[in-house]
A and B are shown apart, each in its own frame.
Chain A
């Protein structure tokens, strides 16, 4: 008698050791991943191998209230096709679900309720099913078939199974939560993305003139191809808007549109900005960083002021265009990125090639699909449409309705707009601020640097800065405009702008501060 108890104790001891072993394995699996499908398969495998609990099965509560069998150890997943389900009260699993408590069968064949839907259970072996609970409510059922039923240790096994079920419950809850959050974030992302696409479609570019219609046609055609596009036009003609329209009307609209102003950064920074850098590539590079090229993978990269980069950098750019591959600064691994490139410049690239400032081969590469944006003075007939569009935009910002007098429109059409649409926008913005009743009359329209223009003074390619510099004794707003224009031309590099204005960097920094010029975000 005593020997029997001793041997039973030894058996129990061995079982507990095996359980402890399995528990260790399960705890490791649970801490490794958040994907519960992956987790449960691993857990079932461990139960079989370490604790002799075979035919492990996990079923999860579906929204319609039935139990859906998710995974069965040692059974080909194809056997779960069509999906195996249990309703509340149906079979032993349904019984566990209904009562929300553990069920122990000494022999499967003794239980009439046992339905054995998949026909995988040995009728002579025991069966244990434990509920998987999250915060007290049932979320699923974990069931196993112990590989031996000769001992009196079924209770111990059931207790162990309950422990495992509790652990799974936690990770199930977490992964369901993560999944749900992920889904709602994705939905929101798609919603926002669509809103952005609607905003940046063709509606944001206004124009009915022949030249603009030709541009629209080109944009539509170019949008669906992956070719490199070169947008050419004077400052302020809306090159960025066209780049937006191309991107958001292309299949790449789901990807990112990444913008980079090449004139805004010094050479060495530009390279790491564009191609990224590896950890330790230079002082201060404490971690690796993705460049704009990598960020634009699957999307579009807009390189503004492409005419301003140095020949050394042009060589690197050419390589990317030709091979679609590049390296991070300080790295040797070639990185591939699927990027459509839209470049833009206001410079006369042909002249730059002639003078040796721009690589000839890069020029040919970029100039495959040029889109020439006409300056505003060549499409004066669009001014009324553009004005109405801009006034709507400015009115939205000022939260009031703005309108413009026909006389004022005529007056606008007589100017030759060296700063193009951007200058027109600034002009209207100023007039709108000065207007008390929201109506813009002729008196409110003022052009920088001169009294109202008389006739179409031909002023091709003359920069606004030269115009303004000739005019002395200007008031603060004109001064502001002059500094902004210079910054704009210099791609918001203060040192460059200072040179344009014949100032020192300190002088221009002082003006930026006193005139409250906001630095443009790049």
Chain B
């Protein structure tokens, strides 16, 4: 403190000290601002994630019920000539059931009316990494983030895309978090190739043989139920990518582990 006071006696040094202090304040302020943004972003993402998982579960249920109703419909059609009264009663019950499902479908599609806009995937991935940082640190995972210097934007729904990549990165973290797994690395690359290509490689154990297709099914999860994993991540991811006119591929990564490849078209392909 005494040092500081002596400095202030000197006009030039005082000026320098003042500048130093303000820039430090500014930095602190920015830091706080950035932190607040990240916390808000994290909360927002968590909320969206929850909503998306719920939506996905509902539409999966919807689909399953639709299948059963379809079978009933064909049975009723066969029944009609023989047992017209019975068929009629069943038919009205069926119609009622279909109407309920339609209500549910309306409800689901209402809650996701996000506008399509140009999206820079580098920014999206940057946000995702920020949100995932606490988990990455906790699991001791090294991230190798290699964004393309120039990346054309894709037309899409930014929140959906963020949720998509969040789910994919979360999957990679899960794969690496197995107890005793040594090499913990995720490499994240974007390239302007065939539209925009995002590559997520992890150094985990990879997908067990025979489950390569199963992992895409709604409600399939490699985790125990109680961990709170709904198992809707990849099936949702597949749908988001399809709706954006892109491709989602899961391949074995070169050094073992898992490679997820997402290709999204640029321009009017959404």
Contact = CB atoms under 8 A, between A and B. Distances in A.
Interface stretch (A251-259, A402-410, A466-474, A487-495): A251-259
A251 B213 contact: yes
Contacts of A190: 249, 251
Interface string B52-84: 000000010001001100110011011001000
A245 to B, nearest CB: 10
B70 A368 contact: yes
B213 A298 contact: yes
Interface range for B: 20 to 34
B108 to A, nearest CB: 11
Given A350-B77, A364-B75, A220 B70 contact: no
A353 B82 CA distance: 14
A224 interface: yes
Nearest to B254: A183
Contact of B238 (A197, A251, A338): A251
B247 A224 contact: no
B156 to A, nearest CB: 15
Interface residues of A, number: 34
A190 B197 CA distance: 14
Contacts of B71: 364, 367-368
A224 B243 contact: no
Contacts of B74: 350, 363-364, 367
Contacts of B251: 190
Interface in A452-472: none
Given A194-B263, A350-B77, A251 B194 contact: no
Nearest to B75: A364
B256 to A, nearest CB: 14
Contact of B247 (A194, A226, A367): A194
Interface in B230-258: 235, 238-239, 242-243, 245, 247-251
A226 B263 contact: no
Interface in A245-301: 249-255, 298
A201 interface: yes
B245 A201 contact: yes
A226 B217 contact: yes
B96 interface: no
A350 B235 CA distance: 33
A227 B67 contact: yes
Contacts of B75: 364
B78 A353 contact: yes
A261 B78 CA distance: 27
Contacts of B213: 226, 251-252, 255, 298, 338
Contacts of A81: 182
Contacts of B66: 369
Contacts, number: 69
Contacts of A251: 213, 216, 238, 248, 250
A330 interface: no
B246 to A, nearest CB: 9
Nearest to B212: A298
B67 A202 contact: no
Given A220-B239, A364-B75, A225 B63 contact: yes
Contact of B194 (A194, A252, A354): A194
A370 B73 CA distance: 11
Contacts of A254: 249
Interface in A159-206: 190, 194, 197-198, 201-203
A221 interface: yes
Interface string A328-340: 0000000000100
B242 A197 contact: no
Contacts of A249: 242
A223 interface: yes
Contacts of A252: 213
Contacts of B239: 220, 224
A360 interface: yes
A485 B134 CA distance: 65
Nearest to A367: B74
B210 to A, nearest CB: 8
A405 to B, nearest CB: 26
Nearest to B269: A203
Contacts of A224: 216-218, 235, 238-239, 242
B212 A197 contact: no
Contacts of B217: 224-226
B63 A221 contact: yes
A208 to B, nearest CB: 15
Contacts of A364: 71, 74-75
A255 B239 CA distance: 18
Contacts of A221: 59, 63
Contacts of A253: 247, 249
Given A198-B194, A250-B238, A367-B70, 4 more contacts: A194-B194, A223-B242, A251-B213, A298-B212
23 contacts: A190-B249, A203-B245, A220-B239, A224-B217, A224-B235, A224-B239, A224-B242, A249-B242, A250-B238, A251-B238, A251-B248, A253-B249, A254-B249, A255-B213, A350-B77, A354-B78, A354-B81, A364-B74, A367-B71, A367-B74, A368-B67, A369-B66, A370-B70
> Which 7 residue pairs of A and B lie closest in terms of their CB atoms, listed nearest first?
A251-B216, A368-B67, A367-B74, A249-B242, A224-B238, A364-B71, A224-B235
